[in-house]
């Protein structure tokens, strides 16, 4: 199962340069890296990144993250994937720019 992470361009550049990251400032503050499922990621973008340009969408295979990935209740009691450990570049299956369109962010058509 793929899970998704949205990073700002500077955060994505830092991950590429350092090969791992503790995440965005909110992740560092909360002590884990926030991810979303396919069903959750669009709402995450609109709620936490509304109007922002220069974003990147990363996809990771949940099963490869091992025991560091847990599923915990968040928005409305829905279970969200949280990574208690670094986000490693080697775990990123793919990344794509997340363009801002007239009605919000435009997600890739081939997301599964």
Helix (H) / strand (E) containing 7: strand 2-8
* Alpha-carbon dihedral angle through residues 21, 35, 101, 48, given to the nearest 10 degrees: -90
Domain assignment of residue 86, yes or no: yes
- How many domains in the chain? 1
State which residues form the domain around 26: 2-99
Average pLDDT along the chain: 95
Domain assignment of residue 25, yes or no: yes
Residues in the chain: 112
Helix (H) / strand (E) containing 12: helix 9-18
Give 112's pLDDT tier (boundaries 50, 70, 90).
Answer: low
Q: Could you read off the pLDDT of 40-85 as tens digits, one per residue?
A: 999 999 999 999 999 999 999 999 999 999 999 987 889 999 999 9
* Domain CATH number, residue 89: 3.20.170.20
As a whole number, mean pLDDT of residues 19-36 equals 97
Higher-pLDDT residue of 102 and 3 is 3
């Amino acid at each position: 199962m793929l899970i998704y992470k949205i990073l700002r361009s500077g955060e994505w550049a830092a991950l590429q340069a350092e090969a791992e990251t503790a995440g965005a400032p909110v992740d560092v503050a909360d002590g884990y890296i926030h991810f979303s499922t396919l069903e959750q990621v669009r709402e995450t973008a609109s709620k936490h990144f509304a109007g922002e340009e220069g974003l990147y969408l990363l996809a990771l295979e949940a099963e490869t993250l091992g025991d560091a990935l847990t599923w915990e209740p968040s928005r409305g009691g829905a279970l969200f994937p949280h990574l208690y450990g670094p986000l490693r570049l080697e775990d990123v299956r793919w990344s794509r720019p997340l363009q801002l369109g007239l009605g919000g962010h435009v997600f890739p058509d081939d997301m599964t």
